[in-house]
Amino acid sequence: MNKFQFFESFGEIDPAFVTAVDELLAGEGPARPAFRRKKVLGAALLAAVLAALLTATAYAAGLFQLSVQVPQRGETQSYSLVIVEPDGELLRQTAEETAGLILHFDSQREGTLCAFRPGWLPVEPTRAESLEEKAGDLARARLGMAFPASGEREQAQEAAETEKVLEEMGLSAEEAARWSVWCEADPAQGPEPGIPYQMALSNCSDLYELDLLIGSDGDAVELLKDETAGEERTLWIRVSKEPRPGEPESADALFPYQVALRFSQAEGWLLSVTGTLDAETLGKIAEDTEIRQTAFPTESQRTERGFGSVLLARG
């Protein structure tokens, strides 16, 4: 390996390292003070992210006195989603970049009953993938592959690693074939405050992931009201960057963080925590977000930096 080849290899490092530096380089003035500020705020900001995520995930898990029943085959649950937000401009900013909604569905390839469509999003989901594909993403991250494998040998390596990830997640091949729908908000069609958006949830599996209910990383997402009238439920949600008591004055620096939690609603186990934080922090999140009423097996832990993950095998 000569020096140019080595320098080129260095070019393929995890993009997370590269983009972190770009944010510093693109900013004005010396990077160091901003860096310090970010570090000082880190713990408190993480709390805000977790608050947002916990609201979303807890909602999905049926905590906080919300009970979301998994629909039976053929059953559809209807929701109205009302966003309470006085500043429309903030919400439009929020809808950009990372605002999105991820749900995992049990694949019903013959059936067509799986559906989820918030009113402001495009009719068709912008992306759909199976849990197996998701595991493939994790496998590539572990192998340090920036792109899907192309060579025969590389593909075999990726397949083997994917199998390992699925095993650690306690998923059979059949379970892994479940599909998720990933909707991303189009900034041009961003949600407007105060307008109820219809949302239908049909025939879901017991295993799903709610990544972010709405809002960018770092937004405070708060469920204000949960009203049920007949078969229709209305959720009132506030998306805010306003500091809460004990939180820093500005949450702007929160954007680098993104964490997704996956758990089994039926068994109450947190299966994995993935995100762009370091392994130690992810491990802490895994501990903090333990679903308390059940045992939390930690036999198999694997952590990585970059697209980090903490996988917790079923006991």
Partner 1 sequence: MTDSLILQLYWARSEKAIEESQNRYGPFCYRVADGILRDPLDAEESVNDTWLSAWNAIPPARPLNLKGFFGALTRRISIRRLREKTAEKRGGGEALAAIDELAECIPARWNTEQAVETKEVLRALNAFLAALPETERDLFVARYWYGLPVAELADKWGLRKNTVLTKLRRTRLRLLKQLEKEELL
- Residues at the interface with partner 1 (CB under 8 A): 1-22, 24-26, 30-33, 35, 39, 96-97, 126-127, 137, 140, 143-148, 154, 157, 184, 186-187, 278-279, 304-307
Shortest distance, position 283 Cβ to partner 1, whole Å: 14
DSSP assignment of 197-252: EEEEEES--SEE----SSS-TT-EEEEEEEEEETTEEEEEEEEE-PPPTTS-S--G
Nearer Cβ to partner 1, position 5 or 228?
A: 5
Calpha distance 95→101 (Å, rounded): 11
Count of Cβ atoms closer than 10 Å to residue 190 Cβ: 17
Nearer Cβ to partner 1, position 49 or 149?
A: 149
Nearer Cβ to partner 1, position 150 or 228?
A: 150
Shortest distance, position 10 Cβ to partner 1, whole Å: 6
Shortest distance, position 258 Cβ to partner 1, whole Å: 12
Nearer Cβ to partner 1, position 305 or 314?
A: 305
Shortest distance, position 128 Cβ to partner 1, whole Å: 12
Count of CA atoms in the C-beta half-sphere (13 A) of 88 = 8
Nearer Cβ to partner 1, position 12 or 232?
A: 12
* DSSP single-letter state for residue 83: E
Q: What angle do CA 89, 90, 95 make, to 5 degrees?
A: 100
Shortest distance, position 9 Cβ to partner 1, whole Å: 5
Shortest distance, position 31 Cβ to partner 1, whole Å: 5
Spell out the alpha helix ranges (H) of the chain. Answer: 3-10, 15-26, 31-61, 88-95, 131-143, 152-168, 173-176, 279-288
Nearer Cβ to partner 1, position 146 or 195?
A: 146
- In 3D space, the residue among 262, 55, 9 whose CA is nearest the CA of residue 138 turns out to be 262
Calpha distance 166→161 (Å, rounded): 9
For tokens 């792109």, the residue is 147
Shortest distance, position 130 Cβ to partner 1, whole Å: 14
For tokens 């919400």, the residue is 91
Nearer Cβ to partner 1, position 38 or 314?
A: 38
